[in-house]
Amino acid sequence: MAVALVAAGAIAEAQQTKKVPRVGFLSGAGDPSNPGPRVEAFRQGLRDLGYVEGKNIIVEYRYIEGNLDRSPGLVAELIQSKVDVLVTTFLPGTRAARDATKTIPIVMVSFVDPVAIGLVESLARPGGNITGLATLSRDLSGKRLELLKEIVPAISRVGALRDIDAPGPAIAFKEYEAAARALKIQLQSLEVRAQNPDLEGVFQAAVKGRASALITIRNPLLNRFSKRIVDLAIKNRLPLMCEDSEYVEAGGLMSYSTIDADSFRRAAVYVDKILKGAKPADLPVEQPMKFEFVINLKAAKQIGLTIPPNVLVRADKVIK
């Protein structure tokens, strides 16, 4: 009898262990020692749904640490660990996951139009094994240039800082080009690449090219150097418009963007639905509609810029 009870207990324990879902999270920002706010937002989303990591859910985190070429290898690691769902947070990572599996559900947080680049069939019915969230970040390109023009009325040339080897920034640059033409602003491409981008060189090119301001087109490579970028912008007295409020927190002048934390919390909701049986093909891709305009008055003072009151009053957050 005792043997039977022990055996039954062992079986029950094995079944319970087997039922704990495993999620793979591929991050384009942060690292194991400092995961960053996106990972924390996702974790908060899980907690809000009653998940406790290590108890009723296991999350395997992987970080590319600024090197996009690591994406396929890290995706392969996550697949080998037998994850039930993959969460991807940047375009090359999502593409690597799509190419690696047609069966494991993929929850993406995309900063480009996933329909236009062929990741999903439509927002309403994604088809395949990919769903998630698509921010309207690219649709805000024109608004960012308009805000720069309001703050610097004499603006005629804007430098766009981008990773020349990454697909997302290439798409973004085309969006800025179209918006700049409409506003009669010249757009200067400031290109960096590899693990150690020549940021000093591109800022020198911006000054030499008489850029009146800069825009950073965010991606995993540049995100790792956000503090260096904002320091160089201040040193060269260049107004810096950012696509991410984290740059403004680090000392950049301003940002206009969707709220990343909301998207990453919502990603946890998609994971929950899939773990409960929903098919990615049937889960519409959401587009977060809440935007945030952040201004750093300290940065403005450092570069000798006065923010017009009619612009300042529209800010959702002001850093002093």
Q: What is the pLDDT of residues 32-52, one digit of tens each?
A: 999 999 999 999 999 999 999
- pLDDT for residue 18: 57
Q: What is the pLDDT of residue 289?
A: 81
**Which long-range contacts link 120-123 to residues 24+ away (Cβ below 8 Å)?**
120/285, 123/284, 123/285, 123/287
Q: What's the confidence (pLDDT) of residue 138?
A: 63
pLDDT of residue 9: 52
CATH of the structural domain 138-258+292-319, one choice from 3.30.300.30, 1.10.10.60, 3.40.50.2300, 3.50.50.60:
3.40.50.2300
CATH superfamily of this structure's domain 2-135+259-290: Response regulator (3.40.50.2300)
Question: DSSP alpha helices (H): ranges in 101-240?
Answer: 141-151, 167-182, 199-208, 220-223, 226-235
Whole-number pLDDT of residue 14: 47
Predicted pLDDT at 15: 47
pLDDT below 70 — which residues of the chain? 1-18, 137-138
| Topology alike, domains 2-135+259-290 and 138-258+292-319 | yes
Domain ranges of the chain: 2-135+259-290, 138-258+292-319
* pLDDT at residue number 1: 46
Q: Given this model, what pLDDT does residue 5 score?
A: 47
Task: Name the pTM for this structure.
Answer: 0.85
